[in-house]
Structure 1
Amino acid sequence: MNTEYLFARKILTLGKTIIANRNDNLRNINLTAEQADALIYFVENPGSSIRNLSNYLSITHQTASGIVKRLCEKEALSMTPSTKDGRCSVVHLTDLGNDLITQVKQNGTHTGAKILSGMSADEKEQFEHLLDLALANIVKQKG
């Protein structure tokens, strides 16, 4: 088997394992990894729409809409009509959503610590550099 294929499989396995780990850790606050990512997006990008979330996460509008709908049902998000475009709604974090962000960030720290455990400071720096390079390469070839 060629090296490129093996690397791609290992990266895919790492990604799936990270998502599973995040989902396990988020289960106690009744969130999925996708919902947590949406909350983080809306706290970092106030006044954004479902379309903005869709573009940011590279998911369909329908999927983003479903995530936002479930977070609204959980009372973590609310939506109001946009003052700029009446066809669009602006998504806001509620007080509960803001409370959940703290727990979501703790989860991310926990998962990140697991990934980096056993690496020296130099290895962590090199790992970050290589991840950035790999991401840049795949984005460059996608476009």
Structure 2
Amino acid sequence: MRRETFNFGRSVKQLSNIMEMRFNQSLKQWDLTSSQFSVVMYLLHNQDQEINQKMIEEAFLLKGPTVTGIVKRLVEKDFILRRLDPQDRRINYLELTKKGQALEPLVCKEITRLETDTLRGISAEHLDLLEELLIQVLKNITTPTADQD
């Protein structure tokens, strides 16, 4: 039976806020925020294609001005370069600098440490169940139900 005091939405929001706060704290040593780091990782994982700002907007469900601000700060910090499309000067392609590429092993090590701390004391069996439940919740929230059609 489910406890009456459990509020799923509030718990997820609190967990997300705390994890982001801790991650941002860890990223300070590289002068990055979690949003900036997410863009760097996206570029790292998609180096085989040309990425523009519109693709970042779509990948992270962000508005144009938000992405423009993130990109501007990453350029200022020398993590990425902005390159204009010669045919359409409204399009900016984004590329990682060497400094940006060097972040991956450093920050991934930090992510592993944070995840280990967060999941400390939870058995492998419970972690498998947690993963299964979160996948189901994501499916539920992204799949329309019959009464939403």
With structure 1 as the length reference, what TM-score do the two structures score? 0.89
> Does 1:80 pair with 2:83?
yes
Query: Highest Rg: 1 or 2?
Result: 2
CA RMSD between the two structures: 2.2
Aligned to 1:87, what secondary structure does the other structure show?
A: coil
- State which of 36, 49, 70 in structure 2 corresponds to 1:67: 70
Q: Tell me the distance in 2 between the aligned counterparts of 1:106 and 1:67.
A: 23
| Count of residues in Structure 1 that have an aligned counterpart in Structure 2 | 142
Task: Name stretches of at least 5 consecutive residues in structure 1 with no aligned partner.
Answer: none
- Alignment correspondent of 2:97: 94
Shift of 1:101: 2.1
Aligned to 1:117, what secondary structure does the other structure show?
A: coil
Q: Tell me the distance in 1 between the aligned counterparts of 2:124 and 2:6.
A: 28
Q: Tell me the distance in 2 between the aligned counterparts of 1:64 and 1:4.
A: 38
Task: Name stretches of at least 5 consecutive residues in structure 2 with no aligned partner.
Answer: none
Q: Tell me the distance in 1 between the aligned counterparts of 2:140 and 2:6.
A: 15
- Alignment correspondent of 2:119: 116
1:99-123 CA deviation, whole Å, 9 max, x = no partner?
A: 1222221222122112221111111
**2:108 maps to amino acid:** K
Higher relative contact order (CA 8 A, sep 6+): 1
Aligned identity (percent) is 26
Q: Tell me the distance in 1 between the aligned counterparts of 2:84 and 2:5.
A: 47
The structure carrying a bigger helix percent of its residues is: 1
1:36-57 CA deviation, whole Å, 9 max, x = no partner?
A: 1110011112321111111111
Aligned to 1:68, what secondary structure does the other structure show?
A: helix
- Alignment correspondent of 2:21: 20
